[in-house]
Amino acid sequence: MKKIILGFTMILILTLAACSNGVNEWDSSSNITVYTRDTSSGTRAGFMGGIGFDEAAEDDSQLVDGFVINDNTGILTSMATDEYGIGYISLSSLDDTVKGLQFDGVDPTIANVVNNTYGLKRPFNYVLRSLDDYENETEKNISLAFIAFMETTDGADIITNEGAIPLESSNTWDDIKANYSVCSQGNSNVTIRFGGSDSIEQIAKALTEAFAPKCGNFIPEHDHTGSSDGFKRTQGSEKDGDNYKHIGFASRPFKDSEDGSQGTQGQLAWDAIVAIVHNDNPVMSVTLEDLRKIYGGQFLTWDELL
């Protein structure tokens, strides 16, 4: 019995000695551990697009070997432990447990996104049906009123709540609602259909939830299937089919082939992405080239970056 206890105590002491090895020096010759989101993630598409590495947005084989896939919170918690890791998260989730890197020397803050100096971001855009392509005036007016609501400070608050960065706004809904008389009548027999990007789905649902009671309680119907369907189902090839939509969203700039009629397209918010590392990591800023080389596998150790 005594021998067993002695044996256990020795093992315990050894483990404790190993653990309290003291704060290790941050070793810059270690490998960079790359964290990323899953291929279906909009944030990944935005990040890869932003660093000029579009091929890797949906293709895992383009990335350096040995990457780790996790969701937004997973990357955040991993970066708090992994001293040699690098990952990216949506700017609104950034907190003190990790270090957000400057992009081209610009701090990752909301102010810098709005004044357009922070470059790692993607636009959240909307597209309406052509102004003469509505079934009746009520549907058109409610759609236009919704866009106006999105651009007020009330809409901006909702967008901020959902983690995106809204554009400048000055009016409240109460200031401008007089211009939209359709909202003072009862609209509970009108269904307005929303679709497009699924990255914007949460924002769109929050906006309609707040706006529907302010505009005659119309019925919002959401069917978000991807940014390409945003234009396709409002002004493109599926605009008159079963999947037609009144308002579509896209989490990327509109392509040249998606040129809509006057006054039907615009931007509702920015979605900023920030590259993060462990707090002990001495790196402060990265450029587009750096990130592309890290994720592509040309930089394998931290030495090559510093």
Amino acid 51 reads I
Q: Is the CB of 61 or the CB of 237 nearer to another protein?
A: 61
Does the footprint of another protein cover residue 97 (CB under 8 A)? no
Residue 67 Cβ vs another protein, minimum distance, rounded to whole Å? 8
Do 51 and 95 meet the contact criterion of CB atoms below 8 Å apart?
A: no
Query: Considering only residues 170-209, where is the footprint of another protein by CB under 8 A?
Result: 198
Contact pick of 9, 39, 115, 188 for another protein (by CB under 8 A): 39
Contact pick of 48, 51, 64, 79 for another protein (by CB under 8 A): 79
Contact pick of 41, 141, 234, 265 for another protein (by CB under 8 A): 41
Interface with another protein by CB under 8 A: which range of 58-66, 97-105, 132-140, 287-295?
Answer: 58-66
Contact pick of 6, 8, 38, 263 for another protein (by CB under 8 A): 38
Per DSSP (E only), the strands in the chain are 33-36, 68-69, 85-90, 99-100, 102-103, 121-128, 165-166, 191-196, 219-224, 247-250, 265-277, 285-286
| Own/partner pairs, 114-117, CB within 8 angstroms, 24+ separation | 114/165, 114/167, 114/168, 114/270
Q: Is the CB of 38 or the CB of 209 nearer to another protein?
A: 38
Residue 72 Cβ vs another protein, minimum distance, rounded to whole Å? 12
Name, in order, each residue with C-beta under 8 angstroms of 274's C-beta and a sequence gap of 6 or more.
88, 89, 90, 91, 94, 100, 101, 103, 108, 120
Name, in order, each residue with C-beta under 8 angstroms of 66's C-beta and a sequence gap of 6 or more.
31, 33, 34
Residue 141 Cβ vs another protein, minimum distance, rounded to whole Å? 32
Contact pick of 77, 115, 185, 188 for another protein (by CB under 8 A): 77
Does the footprint of another protein cover residue 93 (CB under 8 A)? no
Contact pick of 72, 74, 261, 283 for another protein (by CB under 8 A): 74
Does the footprint of another protein cover residue 59 (CB under 8 A)? yes
Tokens of 121: 């971001």
